[in-house]
Amino acid sequence: MLKTFKHHLLNLPGWRTSRKIVVIESDDWGMIRMSSKEAFQALLQKGYPVDTCPYNRYDALESNDDLSRLFEVLASVKDSHGNPAVLTANNVVANPDFDKIREADYRQYFYEPFTETLKKYPAHDKVMQLYRQGMQEKLIRPQFHAREHVQVSRWMRALQRGEKGAKDAFEWGMYSPRNTGETDDGIEYLDAFDTDGQPVHPVQTAIVSEGLALFEHLWGYPSESFIAPCYTWSTDLESHLAAMGVKYLQGITYQRAPVAGKPFAYRNIYHYQGQPNPYGQRYLVRNAFFEPSITPDVDCVSDCMQRIAIAFRWGKPAIIGSHRINYMGYLQPENRENNLRLLHTLLRQIIARWPDVEFMSTDQLGNCITE
């Protein structure tokens, strides 16, 4: 009862509409995670508990089969305008260039576009072709997540100190053998825009600029929205994002903002749907979730449907958070197949219950709010 009450409270303030809008936002596309089954077994044998973390068990760079199977499900339903379900794929446009970093004896950081990373994986040769096809058919809409999903300076310091976990993972083309989320150091290396208690540095603004420029080069259009890895960013970064053309800031109900002068200290800044900031940007708040790989004990279809109903009850769009991990089968195909069946069930229930539903991407929703 308390949980449901909180879901209602989340949807009270902010922009309203009589339209039944559903947006699916999915983070982490393009980033490395577990690099292979061999890497998983090797790290497990070294004593790292990779089997306890769903991201280590299931998540990997998206493969040919991952995209083609996902697109089949998205195309299987149509909204009231005849449009298929569309996934906003929040794209990590680059990954570390492990070979160059090693050659530099860990003294200098290098990155490569994720399209180059794809060439190093054995079942990924058609990924970009499939992306283009999916975009043409309005099944997927990339937006900007980060240049890379790693806090570069913190990770490089760990490598330079020779920290065992970082070095063991590095040998398999990964950041860490844990990658689980919360640790004593916050979120380890994954929170790319954490400032470690410092003011926003020119290096970080350069990362944003390079990342957004690479995004436009890869996809042929600028990203109008941004979602910070681990929902962690400083408000001081927002003016730079705005100057680079970012109009919409994706997130959950709160922003995890680093506290100046206190490394690994954060304050929660709460946002509501369509809330403007001083730079003319709008916060878009996820108010529903579909995460079967991360929360296997939750009836994800029923829970998501309930949250969508609450959003519509208060005249809000339903913005569903659903990470890439749920649709990945490169490591374990059954993860992808089981979750795609659930996604198909969810989408069918949505169009059956709300025949006037409209599927939109994040930037389309943002434009509805600001028009």
User: What contacts 24+ positions apart, CB below 8 Å, involve 331-336?
Assistant: 331/34, 331/36, 331/37, 331/40, 331/57, 331/58, 331/59, 331/60, 332/57, 332/58, 333/65, 335/57, 335/58, 335/293, 336/65, 336/66, 336/69, 336/70
Task: Answer whether 113's CB lies under 8 Å from 119's CB.
Answer: no
Give residue-wise pLDDT tens across range 233-270: 999 999 999 999 999 999 999 999 999 899 889 999 99
**Closest among 294, 268, 271 to 282, alpha carbons compared:** 271
Q: What is the pLDDT of residue 147?
A: 98
pLDDT in tens, 78-91: 999 999 999 999 99
For residue 179, what pLDDT is reported? 53
Q: Which residues of the chain have pLDDT under 50?
A: 180-186
pTM summary value? 0.96
Length of the chain: 371
* Cα–Cα distance for residue pair 154/196, rounded to 1 Å: 8
- In the chain, the N- to C-terminal Cα span, in Å, equals 37
Alpha-helix runs per DSSP H in the chain: 2-10, 37-45, 54-58, 64-75, 98-103, 114-118, 127-136, 152-160, 164-170, 202-219, 238-243, 300-313, 333-353, 362-370
- Residue 256: other Cβ atoms inside 10 A: 21
What's residue 269's pLDDT? Answer: 98
Q: Are strands 254-258 and 266-270 parallel, antiparallel or unpaired?
A: antiparallel
Q: From CA 303, how far away is CA 289, in angstroms rounded?
A: 8
CA torsion angle 92 93 97 101 (round to 10): -70
